[in-house]
Amino acid sequence: MTPDLALAELLAGNQRFAQGQPTAANPIEERTKHVAGQAPVAAVIRCADSRVAPEIVFDQPLGNLFVCGVAGNIPTPEIVESIEYAVAHLGTTLIVVMGHSNCGAVTAALTSEVVDGLFAQVALAPTPDLDDCIAHNAEQGISTLLNRSVMIEEAVKNGLVQIVAGVQDIATGNFELVAQTQLN
Ligand SMILES: [Zn+2]
């Protein structure tokens, strides 16, 4: 599947979720198919927040999303390696950095006097506005991925993979794109 088609699939699923009309199902007969392998439509870097769940928010069944999660949806080295696996071995062409409104990790990075550990990796916007920082942190996830993985950078340059960043609005359910790599 091309990155464009994969993104269209996810955004259509998000519309269904936001409107309260999800269609994704996981019938028993599909399990046999999953045993044979996986070919996820997209890889997602999500925040650990319990209100964020890519399979639900993008209305996708098992087998469609390769999901990695950590507070603040930061592409840590371990997450980058996992995403490389999806690109190299599972044929994933779309990578989604998924931020969300009211993110506690970004709030901690923004408001704490002393920020260390994982929260120190949250990329804050120039302005101390939480929503701006959440969007900026998701967008910076693209740069971090590209900087930490030559393999992913090459795949993007060659037009094989696209990375997008967006923010899930907890209240409306809408996932809004804030940045994306350009396809050749
Ligand atoms: Zn969060």
* DSSP 8-state class, residue 181: P
How far apart (Å, rounded) are the C-alpha atoms in residues 146 and 136? 16
Distance 8 CA to ligand 1 centre (A): 24
Per-chain mean pLDDT for the chain = 96
Q: Residue 115: its pLDDT value, please?
A: 87
Contact 139, 125 (CB under 8 A): no
* Whole-number percent of the chain with pLDDT over 90: 95
Which pLDDT band holds residue 168 (cuts at 50, 70, 90)? very high
CA of 165 to the centre of ligand 1 (A): 14
Is pLDDT above 70 for 184?
A: no
Q: In 146-171, which positions are buried (b, 16+ CB within 10 angstroms) versus exposed (e)? A: bebbeebbebbeeebbbbbbbbbeee
pLDDT of residue 108: 95
* Average of per-residue pLDDT across 6-12: 98
Residue 119 has pLDDT above 80, yes or no: yes
Is the pLDDT at 154 greater than 60? The verdict is yes
What are the structural domain ranges in the chain?
Answer: 3-19+38-113+120-180
What whole-number distance in Å separates Cα of residue 85 and Cα of residue 80? Answer: 9
Which segment of 54-58, 61-65, 180-184 scores lowest on mean pLDDT?
180-184
> Ligand 1 centre and the CA of 26: distance in Å?
27
Question: Amino acid identity of 178?
Answer: V
C-alpha of residue 35 to centroid of ligand 1, in Å? 32
The reported pTM is 0.96
pLDDT at 167 over 60: yes
CA of 136 to the centre of ligand 1 (A): 13
Q: Report how far ligand 1's centroid is from the alpha carbon of 32 (Å).
A: 34
pLDDT of residue 65: 98
Q: Provide mean pLDDT across the span 69-92.
A: 98
The answer on pLDDT for 183 being more than 80 is no
Identify the CATH class of 3-19+38-113+120-180: alpha beta
Q: How far does the centroid of ligand 1 lie from the alpha carbon of residue 109, in Å?
A: 11
Range ranked top by mean pLDDT from 29-33, 68-72, 118-122, 180-184: 68-72
Arithmetic mean of pLDDT, 13-37: 96
Distance in Å, CA 178 to ligand 1 centroid: 16
Q: For residues 174 and 106, is the Cβ–Cβ distance under 8 A?
A: no
75 closest CA partner among 42, 118, 106: 118
In this structure, of 8-22, 76-90, 113-127, 150-164, the range with the lowest mean pLDDT score is 113-127
Per-residue pLDDT at 182: 76
Whether the CB-CB separation of 53 and 66 falls below 8 Å is answered with: no
How much distance in Å is there from the Cα of 49 to the middle of ligand 1?
5
